[in-house]
Structure 1
Amino acid sequence: LNVPEEALYLHEGAIEAETSRKIFEDQGVSPTEELFRQVLKRQRALFRQKYWSFVKPFPEIPDLLADLRKEGKKLALVTSSHREILEEILPSRLRGLFHFILTGDQVRRRKPHPEPYLLAREKLKAPEEGALAVENAPAGIRSAKGAGLFCVALTTTLAPHHLKQADLVLPSHRELYRLLLNGKRHA
């Protein structure tokens, strides 16, 4: 299979098996269940080997999270990744900045279903009004919007036209910082 990198980002955040099935479908391939399981297992191994050691937070993120917390904002991380993956790739200093972390293995229905964001909002005791999600992929945007959140999408992995379901599309974390903290830093 020749899978364009953009195809992976378009399906980022969606259920892993559904993503793989969609990629097969887009390539015109109908795998047997055994082949599908083997490919999924190989996909996970390759992802771990190729990407995990390179995953780093964007430079503005630690300051942004710390400053939002100082302002009394309740912060949740909502990811479709499994907890073991998150714990391996997300530095503990960043994990400590979130009031609540929700991983894909903690919900029955992952993104694009609204359940992850609804649960996070419930855990934070956050009202729908004023709640905001930051996303970078269509599945996450659909999940956030389905939960009634205002959604800001960042073009860190996909072009703006792929993120048009969001309420606002920004080109960078720097712009997100300006939006959320009125340009106090990273101007």
Structure 2
Amino acid sequence: MELKEKEAILFDMDGVVLDSMPWHVRAWQEAFREFGLNVPEEALYLHEGAIEAETSRKIFEDQGVSPTDELFQAVLKRQRELFRKKYQAFVRPFPEIPDLLSDLRREGKRLALVTSSHEEILRDILPQALLRLFHFVLTGDRVKRRKPHPEPYLLASQTLGVPKPLAAAVENAPAGIKSAKGAGLTCIALTTTLSPEHLREADIIIPSHEELRRLFKNGKSGC
């Protein structure tokens, strides 16, 4: 089945809909530094959507620290404070996203936003005009198990009422790809934050939102 025949498209938010990851990463790095940890950018991009006490254990261990839940929660709280105070205002949708979502909706596609961010963060950074284009929005605080577990994409696709073979997910990080594939969806990966070698579990890897538009319009990219 070609992508133009898919009936539902499920989008990740950070790094797919919003050009936000560089700002999140800066806030994470600052927060970690305040706790004496110097975490490389790539480690944070690789853990996007899955930075939790257990799934982020390697980040701490690579710094020679055995993480406790208390330490993780303290770093997380500080990251959110820094992001809101210093970086949130710089977040913008990728330029192609408004027209892409509008076109897909006009074509009768069912659209969902599936993000690990909590609802309070989404409300602060996602423009209402874009939010209204989605038929369903699922945030990380509304699931028991976040990405890379399949639950977010399973719940979103079920809510849209579209069979798995007729749904595709758009992601940009390993945790999201694993979640989408575990839910039985076709997964397209954008190289907005990571190189293709880190996205190889996706069905299709593309370099830009313009290529994404071509895929949904023609069933193939221009690459």
Normalised to the residue count of structure 1, the TM-score between the two structures is 0.92
Which of the residues 109, 114, 136 maps onto 1:100?
A: 136
* 2:100 maps to amino acid: L
- Is the 1:115–1:147 contact (alpha carbons within 8 Å) kept by the matching residues of 2? yes
* 1:42 maps to amino acid: R
Q: Which structure would you say has the larger RCO, counting Cα contacts within 8 Å and 6 or more residues apart?
A: 2
Give secondary structure in 2 for the equivalent of 1:76.
strand
CA-to-aligned-CA distance 1:152-176 (integer Å, 9 cap, x gap): 0000001110101100000000100
* 1:5 maps to amino acid: E
Matches within 5 A, 1:14-163: 14-163=50-199
- Is the 2:180–2:187 contact (alpha carbons within 8 Å) kept by the matching residues of 1? yes
Distance 1:32 1:12, change over 3 A: closer
Distance 1:33 1:77, change over 3 A: closer
CA-to-aligned-CA distance 1:68-114 (integer Å, 9 cap, x gap): 00000000000000001001100000000000000000000000000
- Is the 1:151–1:166 contact (alpha carbons within 8 Å) kept by the matching residues of 2? yes
Aligned to 2:19: none
Give secondary structure in 1 for the equivalent of 2:214.
helix
Measure the CA separation in 2 of the matches of 1:84 and 1:110: 16
CA-to-aligned-CA distance 1:19-56 (integer Å, 9 cap, x gap): 54331022221144443332222122223233321111
Measure the CA separation in 1 of the matches of 2:171 and 2:91: 17
- Is the 1:74–1:99 contact (alpha carbons within 8 Å) kept by the matching residues of 2? yes
Identity %: 76
- Is the 1:15–1:80 contact (alpha carbons within 8 Å) kept by the matching residues of 2? no
Q: CA deviation at 1:7?
A: 1.0
Matches within 5 A, 1:162-173: 162-173=198-209
CA-to-aligned-CA distance 1:131-172 (integer Å, 9 cap, x gap): 100000000000000000000000000111010110000000
Measure the CA separation in 1 of the matches of 2:114 and 2:156: 7
Give secondary structure in 2 for the equivalent of 1:132.
strand
Runs of 5+ unmatched residues, structure 2? 1-36
Give secondary structure in 1 for the equivalent of 2:99.
helix
- Is the 2:53–2:68 contact (alpha carbons within 8 Å) kept by the matching residues of 1? no
Normalised to the residue count of structure 2, the TM-score between the two structures is 0.78
Give secondary structure in 2 for the equivalent of 1:121.
helix
Measure the CA separation in 1 of the matches of 2:67 and 2:152: 30
Q: CA deviation at 1:16?
A: 3.2
Measure the CA separation in 2 of the matches of 1:149 and 1:32: 35
Distance 1:128 1:37, change over 3 A: closer
C-alpha RMSD of the superposition = 1.5
